[in-house]
Amino acid sequence: MALETPVGAFPIAGINNASSAASSADRPPPASPVLPHKQANGSTHARSSQQYVSFNGSSNGAASTTNAINNNNSSSGVTNTNLNSIHTAGDNLAQHLNQQQQQQQQQQQAAPIRYSFAHRATNPPDAAASWKPTMSLDLISPGASPLTLATREMFTIREPLPVFYLEKNYVVRASLPRSFYMIMAQHGIKHCIVFDFPVGSKWWSELSGLRKSTYVDIKAENSSERWELHLKPTRDRSNIFGYICKHDYLANVINGQKMNLLHNRKLPLVLDLDDTLVRLIGNERTRYVSEADAMTVPTRIRTLKDRRQVVLTDHVEEFLEWACRFYEISVCSLGEQSYVEQVADVLDPLKTRIRGLKYSARQEYDFLNPVVVVPPTTAASPALTAPAPGGAQPNGQVDATTSSTSTASSSTTAAAASTSTSTSTSTPPPAATTTAATTTTPPSPVSAAGLSTATITAAAIAATQPPTPPKDLLSLYAFCAANKPPTDGLPDIGTGFSLPLILDDLTQMWPPDQHDNVIVVKEQRGASVWTVNLFPMVQHVLMAVHSEFFRAYDQWVQARQAAVASITIGGAPPATGLSGSEAVGGAIDFTATTAAKTAFLNMPVPSPIGCYKEWLRGSLSNQISLTYAAPPAHLVTQVAQQHQQAAAQQAQQQAQQQAQQQAQLNSQHPQQAQQPPQHVQQPQPQQQQQQGGQQPPQQPQA
């Protein structure tokens, strides 16, 4: 499922900037009563359809007006003709009142509600009940029907927020990865609005299943700054939380995350847990370490809080201790969030090594790769059941036999069954549940009489499809999705997926455009107990990438400073020169063409991915120059036979060429070709003697 391209910059500002250790999980709103749907007169009952707004200073209805006219006509003794005219006038008056009431209602509905989240006493009493914004998806999904949200509650925010205008119609700007919500949670931005989840909406359901959020622009009174309302659906699809912040706030926070890493000379590194750093202990026939094998390496066994046990990769703690000095480490898994946190606790008990995020993609995996179950066509025939893609297990591991034949199988944790059949990783899985998860899902008791052939065929095809990649760097790093535009017009560093690196045993659980970020590791061949060699090769490549990147980065920063100084008018560039998004000391001449600017634009922007590729090329070149081995004997024999065949073909070609040349000569001189060949006369004896070098005797003269 493709991520919609964000439109415009991302958010907002000035709520509480204090850092907090808030969890990335959805936080429910505080307990508060639901606001009653009160009317302007204080009544909680809906207005009657026979009530109308005041007209000429009096409030009366069409029926009462008509009755009053009829009574007045009866007492006056008017004629039938006049009475019909009066009735017609009364009907016209009632129609006019209805039209005026509808116009005023439309104006009231279209007019924005003036609302203050800091001073609720000044707000209309029925603001929460009356505000039902309509969200248009034209920018994301053109042609999709707009959807109206029902406001459930609004809360008071103790921050100096301006007064906002709650309008009727909004345009959804983009769907944002969950890293944006994590930033708001970490920086103490609290929700102030709760909407009812629109049941039956496919787009909002996908937003909830992928743990994404969205945002719309919201107008503030007497403010030139741009404010946004971020909407985050809950995982259970019951509520939508609304968060208000400035447009520039999140942009500065996102850019600050990236620049803080570079300032501390660290790079982002994502480490896969299962089959890379740890493996669960169990006697199942999947990717587990058997209990008997685990007992041979007792120093590598760790017990989780839920009493399950894992085997650590050999020297993984030493590796983390080394890597945290050069990289900001995050861990990821397809297991539940509790499982990821428990494994992170045993890998980093002092909370000093894993400073990044603890990322679980379990919900995304379940949403993108649901288990398809088709009831049997007959009572005796077996059910057509779609197993979990890649042989996924309750703990998130993948069946080795399945992953070896499927190009899209996962090596990390995954949920194989639905919520009713899958086992939560927060508690040890019972034996019965584990057995059910490693086999096929039991058939549903629903009869197959109502299923068409097309439905059964579609389910069978879905069972063979590779899983959709649930992991995504966008869920970890918001700066991969949005970058603050540079103020000097020069290229910036760290755009897209150019900064993070991933250490995983497979690439298929990541989107294709992130495969270049993955350093693939495999388990040690021939090892008696499962392990992955993190030393020396993985350490060597990470060290080489880090050193080469910051060497190129320092040169890039110096060239950028010189370029900015050469196009700056009336001021000096910033002393740091880390990013073009920082303010400069003077005006920038964007049209200037200088030697320093040209030299900087010709420099490649350094990236860890580029350094990794260059290291691979250099490593392969060294191996080629240092390694020699004689070719196999069958190849030597085959090449010798090819030489013989080539020599025979060459001789045949030469004979053909000579024959062709002789034929051409014959065609050019046909008379010479018809004359018989002349015999050479034998020399006379006297001539033979001359040729032999002896002088013949001279005859005497007469």
Report which of 529, 100, 456, 45 is spatially closest to residue 281, judged by C-alpha positions: 529
Lowest mean pLDDT among 258-267, 322-331, 408-417: 408-417
Instruction: Name every residue whose Cβ is closer than 8 Å to that of residue 43 and which is 6 or more positions away in sequence.
Output: none
Q: Tell me the mean pLDDT in the region 325-347.
A: 97
Contact 246, 226 (CB under 8 A): yes
Q: Note the pLDDT of residue 409.
A: 36
Which pLDDT band, with edges at 50, 70 and 90, does 587 fall under? confident
pLDDT at 110: 63
Average pLDDT over residues 631-645: 95
Mean pLDDT across the stretch 159-165? 89
- The amino acid at residue 29 is P
**Which pLDDT does position 370 carry in this prediction?**
83
Nearest to 52 by CA among 65, 61, 42, 39: 61
Is residue 291 predicted with pLDDT exceeding 50?
Answer: yes
Tell me how far apart the terminal alpha carbons of the chain are, to the nearest angstrom. Answer: 127
Six token digits for residue 134? 């309509």
DSSP state of 253: H
Going by C-alpha positions, the residue among 76, 71, 70, 103 that lies closest to residue 88 is 70
Ramachandran sector of residue 391 (left: φ over 0; alpha: ψ -120 to 50; beta: rest): left
Q: Is the dihedral of CA 326, 179, 351, 578 positive or negative?
A: positive
The pLDDT, as a whole number, for residue 314 is 96
Which residues lie below 8 Å from residue 59, measured CB to CB, with a gap of 6+?
Answer: 52, 53
Cis check for the bond before 536: say yes or no (omega within 30 of 0): yes
Alpha-carbon gap, residue 186 to 592, rounded angstroms: 42
Cα–Cα distance for residue pair 418/363, rounded to 1 Å: 11
Torsion 202-203-208-209 (CA) sign: positive
pLDDT at 160: 83
- DSSP per-residue codes, 517-560: GEEE--BPTT-SS--B--TTHHHHHHHHHHHHHHHHHHHHHHHH
Dump pLDDT digits (tens) for 603-636: 999 999 999 999 999 999 998 998 889 999 999 9
pLDDT value of residue 510? 97
pLDDT value at 357 more than 50: yes
Mean pLDDT of the chain: 76
**7 pLDDT band (50/70/90 cuts)?**
very low
Paired tokens of 560: 């950028």
CA distances from 533 to 272, 440, 524 (A): 14, 34, 6
- What average pLDDT does the segment 339-364 reach? 97
| pLDDT score recorded for residue 696 | 52
From the number of C-beta atoms within 10 Å of its C-beta (0-12, 13-18, 19+), residue 619 rates as: middle
pLDDT digits (tens, 9 = 90+) for 169-204: 999 999 999 999 999 999 999 999 999 999 999 999
Q: Which helix (H) or strand (E) holds 215?
A: strand 213-220
Report the alpha-carbon angle 360-366-371, nearest 5: 150
Q: Which residues of 582-602 are buried (b: 16+ CB within 10 A; e: fewer)?
A: bebeeebeeeeeeebbeebee
- Of 592, 573, 591, 571, residue with least CA distance to 583: 573
What is the average per-residue pLDDT within 51-63?
36
At position 700, the amino acid (one-letter code) is P
Residue 97: pLDDT band by 50, 70, 90 thresholds?
confident
Residue 304, both tokens? 């989780």
- For residue 22, how many other CB atoms are within 10 A of its CB? 15
- Both tokens of 105, joined, read 């209602």
Burial pattern 542-581, b for ≥16 Cβ within 10 A else e, equals bebbbebbbebbeebbebbbbbbbbbbeeeebbeebbbbb
Enumerate the β-bridge partners of residue 478.
Answer: none
Per-residue model confidence (pLDDT) at position 284: 84
Mean pLDDT, rounded, for 115-140: 87
408 in Cβ contact with 510 (< 8 Å): no
> What confidence score (pLDDT) does residue 566 get?
93
Average pLDDT score over residue span 366-383: 61
Name the nearest CA neighbour of 433 among 284, 309, 312, 607.
284
pLDDT of residue 41: 36
**Percentage of the chain exceeding pLDDT 70:** 65
| Comparison of pLDDT for 685 and 296, the residue scoring more | 296
Cα–Cα separations (whole angstroms), residue 372 to 73, 342, 405, 701:
75, 31, 20, 132
Strand partners, 311: 279, 301
| Pairwise CA distance, residues 547 & 296, whole Å | 38
- Residue 479's pLDDT is 96
- Is-above-0.95 flag for pTM? no
Indicate the length of the chain as a whole number.
702
Query: Bridge-partner residues for 151, per DSSP?
Result: 195
Which of 233, 214, 22 lies closest to 137, judged by CA?
214
Between residues 559 and 424, the one the model is more confident about: 559
**pLDDT score for 574:** 54
Binned at pLDDT 50, 70 and 90, residue 596 comes out as: very high
* Least confidently predicted of 123-127, 168-172, 534-538: 123-127
3-state secondary structure of 146: coil
Mean pLDDT of 270-276: 97
Quick one: average pLDDT of 233-257? 94
Render 111-152 in DSSP notation, one character per residue.
SPEEE-SS-GGGS-TTHHHH--PEEE-TTTSTTPPPEEPPEE
Amino acid at 604: P
Name which of 146, 198, 196, 204 is nearest 171 in CA terms.
146
Q: How far is CA 667 from CA 188, 566, 655, 664, 675, in A?
A: 100, 80, 19, 5, 14
Contact present, 608 and 498 (Cβ < 8 Å): yes
E strand or H helix that includes residue 69: helix 62-76
Calpha distance 43→605 (Å, rounded): 65
User: What is the model's pLDDT at position 118?
Assistant: 85
Model confidence at 361, in pLDDT bands (50, 70, 90)? very high
Confidence (pLDDT) at 157: 85
* SS3 per-residue string spanning 392-444: ECCCCCECHHHHHHCCCCCCCCCCCCCCCCCCCCCCCCCHHHHHHHHCCCCCC
Residue 455 is predicted with a pLDDT of 60
Residue 152 pLDDT > 50, yes or no?
yes
Contact 383, 460 (CB under 8 A): no
* H helix or E strand, kind and range, residue 450: none
Q: pLDDT tens, 496-511?
A: 999 999 999 999 999 9
Q: Which range among 96-100, 248-252, 340-344, 580-584 shows the weakest confidence by mean pLDDT?
A: 580-584
Which residue type is seen at 39? Q
What's the pLDDT score for residue 252? 94
Banded pLDDT at 420 (limits 50, 70, 90): very low
Mean pLDDT is lowest, of 281-290, 450-459, 474-483, for: 450-459
Q: How confident is the model at residue 362 (pLDDT cuts 50, 70, 90)?
A: very high
Rg (CA), the chain: 41
Q: What band does 459 get if pLDDT is binned at 50, 70 and 90?
A: low
pLDDT confidence band for 454 (50 / 70 / 90): low
CA dist., res. 413 & res. 390, Å (int): 10
Beta carbons of 112 and 165 less than 8 angstroms apart: yes
CA 399 to mean position of chain CA atoms = 25
As a whole number of angstroms, the longest Cα–Cα distance in the chain is 194
> What's the rounded mean pLDDT across residues 659-677?
74
Location of structure tokens 């020699």 = 628
In which element (H, E) is residue 75 found? Answer: helix 62-76
